[in-house]
Amino acid sequence: LVILYMFKFLITKARQAGDRQTTLLQSLMAHMTDSLLMIKPLKTMGRENLTDAVLSKKTKALKKALKKQVFASQALSAFQEPVSVAFLTLGLYITLVYWKFPVANVFMVMFLLSKLLKKLEKCQKLYQSMVMVESAFWSLKDKTQAAQRAQESLTGKYEPTLTRSIRLENVSFAYEESLILENVSIRFPVGSFTAIVGPSGVGKTTVVDLATGLLRPRQGQIYIDDVPLEKIDLKKWRRMIGYVPQETLLLHDSILMNVTLGDKDLTAQDAEDALQAAGAWEFIANQPQGIYAVVGERGHKLSGGQRQRIAIARALAHKPKLLILDEATTALDPESEAAICETLRKLSGKITIMAISHQPALMKVADKAYRLQNKTVVAIEDPLAAGLRWQEIDAEPAGKSWIRSGTGEVI
């Protein structure tokens, strides 16, 4: 026990070094991932050296923690045996010289002690190895448990249909203590094209996430054809939805793969139909390889408008009942935006469309429009006929807003 206690501090050092390594590795990987995603703007501004400096600093700290771990591990291996031999020698000397025990008995006891010490040394080394990786294990376990706690509860059994409308009735929602929506009621009729506008942070995307079941309201109810969403099979409901995000993410693969995403239930004809519906077939037909042409990494061989059309085709490929566009035209030039809006206008009536946008172009082709403000919703029946214009303002609410011509009133 004395020998084990003597080396306890080396095990403590190994544990501390392991904890430090786990923390640094997580930080390093997160920073490296973020840096790779930002590499183009960083390089454009000539500031990639700043990322190098941060990564270098974190790598040096990780190297220092690794050195401490190696030192603790090797010190334990190097000193265990000499200390054990010294302990046995001292014990042998005391028992033979001072206590004058019989030689045969002393040697028998020393032999057994040496065997026992060998086993204890091995156990201590294994324990030290365990504590060095212990923090990684607990970190992984914590993340696994957090993921399990956040797992969706899919209890609904009703077969979803969308033949009448999607309704939010007196819905309130908050992120922790921050109230985003309060007693909001909106109706999205089947076949309609509805635009949801408002400054950033007022809850536009939250409305969409509530309608798709990704978020649950604090109070109120969401209905799909008069059936509460909580009673509907969410997986089947989401298969009826096509979603186009603000940032178009394309695979370094063919146009066909980017539209079907490898779904075996979708054929090349399904992809072609979706591309035609999205207004993308004209430029694809001019490609030497057609739908088998490779779009390049993140779609760099295509223009922004072309990438967005492929993203719309991807959302339409499985013939959804509901198409959701989340700021889908924000990054486009006016010409590409107008072309996308014309495509959406042609789809209106054939499919239910919900569009989140800051752009006035979508308002011109939408059947209905809602503005979110002050945690509630205001209907804009006909913004152009009502004498409204789209303008960037510095006053509250910040950002772009509908302004009543002649009065300056923010709508």
The residues with which 373 forms a beta bridge, in sequence order, are 376
Q: Which of 121, 272, 327, 337 is catalytic?
A: 327
With contact defined as beta carbons under 8 Å apart, do 89 and 55 qualify?
no
3-state secondary structure of 188: strand
Residue with tokens 């700043």: 50
Sign, CA torsion 126/132/136/138: positive
C-alpha span between 313 and 278 (Å, rounded): 5
Tell me if residue 327 is catalytic.
Answer: yes
Residue with tokens 């590499």: 39
User: Among candidates 151, 157, 320, which has minimal Cα distance to 233?
Assistant: 157
C-alpha span between 276 and 285 (Å, rounded): 10
Q: In the structure encoding, which two tokens stand for residue 78, read together?
A: 């190097």
With contact defined as beta carbons under 8 Å apart, do 117 and 84 qualify?
yes
**Orientation angle between helical segments 268-277 and 304-316, nearest 10 degrees:** 120
The residues with which 34 forms a beta bridge, in sequence order, are none
**Which amino acid, residue 37?**
L
H or E element: which one contains 379? Answer: strand 376-380
Catalytic residues: 327
